[in-house]
Amino acid sequence: MPAMSEAPESKPVGAGRQLLFLREEELRLAQDLLFFGYRDFTAGPDAILAELGMGRAHHRVLHFVGRRPGITVGDLLSILGITKQSLGRVLTPLVEDGYVTQAPGRNDRRQRLLSLTEKGEAMEKRLFERQREWVMRAYREAGPVAVEGFRRVMLGLMGPEARAQLDRAQPAATPGAPKPRSAA
Amino acid sequence: MPAMSEAPESKPVGAGRQLLFLREEELRLAQDLLFFGYRDFTAGPDAILAELGMGRAHHRVLHFVGRRPGITVGDLLSILGITKQSLGRVLTPLVEDGYVTQAPGRNDRRQRLLSLTEKGEAMEKRLFERQREWVMRAYREAGPVAVEGFRRVMLGLMGPEARAQLDRAQPAATPGAPKPRSAA
DNA sequence: AAGAAACGTCAATGACGCTGACCCAAAAGG
DNA sequence: CCTTTTGGGTCAGCGTCATTGACGTTTCTT
């Protein structure tokens, strides 16, 4: 199976400055980066949420409901990839506390179409702003080219299902420039 | 809704196609990317770990102990950013099951210097390989430039403390001799 | 000898997942 | 019309991973 890290005899791997052969250290760095980066990325919102007796799961609901107003419970479940029991534990309080509203579907009245209330939007906005400052700093430090690269790698890190959901979740951001796809 | 033409800093970004002003959608995409990407990144190891009755926390210990053999419990705690009780719940079984060894420090015998046993190394290797395939795919699809950008952004997403720890954790990244050496 | 430091551990709590079982109401379909 | 399926909710119990608080031991430092 795995030989220890040795001279990767496989390819000559020229590419002068930044050799990009996936040797051990290369990957271990990626692991570190993702662990620390994700943790610190979520730290800001976590702090706000904790004050309100909420957790990361609440934030996710606010985020995805905000992103797709009128989403059905089922769709939300498949995006989050959790069970309805798990969602219920988080969604019910959000509804009771007036962050999220439920409306019966017009076509299918069994459905509960979820949307954010004003309170919910304000909350989401607050969490969003906190994270925005953080990401903005990282983006600025890294520069536009790096940001594009970041996106491409993160997209590649996602499984096909998640990628499909992401596409579906993308609302037409600006009326007129709909498809920020492809990229090169 | 954020205005459209509000370049935050007057850096002449140029870069014709993808202007990098951090408008709303820009950030929401980052949130999605990080959520889905991190989740799917950890999915592989999680599956293996579950079979063995372990969790993500065990993986982290194996990872960081493997990265810095002879690390003290205190250092590991500050890297992971958890309490010693939390670590104990995961570390004790790892030691009992023969994945990790403890050796008294030669300068300070109060310390328990942690290292992986052969069993532990094999385990870590297995988890590593799973993740390597996944990251490798993403890296290949994205290309070297994107990978460099990914690193820069993730680094920016980390807090200063994490960045310092990452530096300390980095064994010589020079291509050719990636074998760290530290306390006996 | 006293105190601080490094580590371990018992106990309780909370967030966030999971499975299994069961319920209701509305849609679908014979 | 009546049965089945589907969208959603809920109760009960379990496991992981994190927390705080308190206490104990060994060892280093002063």
Domain CATH code at residue B74: 1.10.10.10
pLDDT > 70 in chain A, percent:
79
Instruction: Identify which has the larger pLDDT, A115 or B184.
Output: A115
pLDDT score for A22: 58
Lowest mean pLDDT among A161-170, B7-16, B85-94: B7-16
Q: For the residues A127-156, what does the mean pLDDT come to?
A: 94
Say if A144 falls within a structural domain: yes
**What is the band of B90 on the pLDDT scale with cuts at 50, 70, 90?**
very high
Cβ–Cβ of A153/B150 closer than 8 Å? Answer: yes
Q: Which of A2-11, A140-149, B166-175 has the lowest mean pLDDT?
A: A2-11
The pLDDT of residue B24 is 86
pLDDT of residue B22: 58
Question: According to the model, what pLDDT value does residue B170 have?
Answer: 63
Check whether B48 has a pLDDT greater than 50: yes
Do the Cβ atoms of A144 and B173 come within 8 Å?
A: no
Quick one: pLDDT at residue B171? 54
How many domains does chain B divide into? 1
Report CB contact under 8 Å: B37, A155.
yes
Name the residue among B39, B159, B176 with its Cβ closest to that of A40: B159
Query: A81: pLDDT confidence band, cut at 50, 70 and 90?
Result: very high
Residues within 8 A of B (CB atoms), A 13-72 only: 15, 18-20, 22-25, 27-41, 43, 60, 63, 67
pLDDT above 70 (res B15): no
Distances (CA, A) of B164 to A88, A108, B104, B168, B170: 40, 54, 26, 6, 10
| φ, ψ dihedrals at B34, nearest 5° | -70, -40
Note whether residue A135 is domain-resident.
Answer: yes
**Confidence check: pLDDT of B123 > 80:** yes
Distant-in-sequence contacts of B55-61, Cβ < 8 A, 24+ apart: B55/B90, B57/B86, B57/B90, B58/B90, B58/B93, B58/B94, B59/B127, B60/A35, B61/B87, B61/B90, B61/B91, B61/B94, B61/B100
Q: Does B155 fall in a domain?
A: yes
By CB neighbour count within 10 A (0-12 exposed, 13-18 middle, 19+ buried), where does B6 fall?
Answer: exposed
* d(CA A76, C1' C14) / Å: 25
| Whole-number percent of chain B with pLDDT over 90 | 71
Give CA torsion, residues A46, A47, A52, A58, to 10 deg.
-10
Reported confidence tier of residue A167, pLDDT bands at 50, 70, 90: confident
Q: Is the pLDDT of residue A78 over 50?
A: yes
User: Which of B27, B41, B60 is closest, CB to CB, to A157?
Assistant: B41
| Average predicted confidence (pLDDT) for chain A | 84
Asked whether residue B57's C-beta has any atom of DNA/RNA strand C within 7 A, the reply is no
- According to the model, what pLDDT value does residue A164 have? 87
Query: Do the domain assignments include residue B19?
Result: no
The closest nt to B102, taking CA to C1', is C7
User: Confidence band (pLDDT; 50, 70, 90) for A166?
Assistant: confident
Contact A147 B153 (CB under 8 A): yes
pLDDT tens profile B94-119: 999 999 999 999 999 999 999 999 99
Beta carbon pairs, A and B, within 8 Å = 221
- Nearest beta carbon to residue A38 from set B38, B63, B81: B38
| Residue B175 counted as domain residue | no
B108 touches strand D (CB under 7 A): yes
Instruction: Give the pLDDT of residue A6.
Output: 37
CA distances from A117 to A65, A88, A148, B164, B167 (A): 10, 18, 34, 42, 44
In a domain, B151, yes or no: yes
B106 touches strand D (CB under 7 A): no
Domain hosting residue B58, numbered range: 25-169
A180 in any annotated domain: no
What are the tokens at B102? 């403890």
Residue of B14 and A49 predicted with greater confidence: A49
Q: Is residue B183 one of the residues assigned to a domain?
A: no
- Using the beta-carbon criterion (under 8 Å), do B152 and A146 form an inter-chain contact? yes
The pLDDT value given to residue A141: 93
pLDDT greater at residue B50 or residue B12: B50
User: Which strand C nucleotides have any atom less than 7 A from protein CB atoms?
Assistant: 5-12, 15-21, 25-28
Q: What is the mean pLDDT of residues B60-68?
A: 97
| Of A18, A29, A154, Cβ closest to residue B144 | A18
**pLDDT tens across A47-73, in order?**
999 999 999 999 999 999 999 999 999
Tell me A1's DSSP state.
-
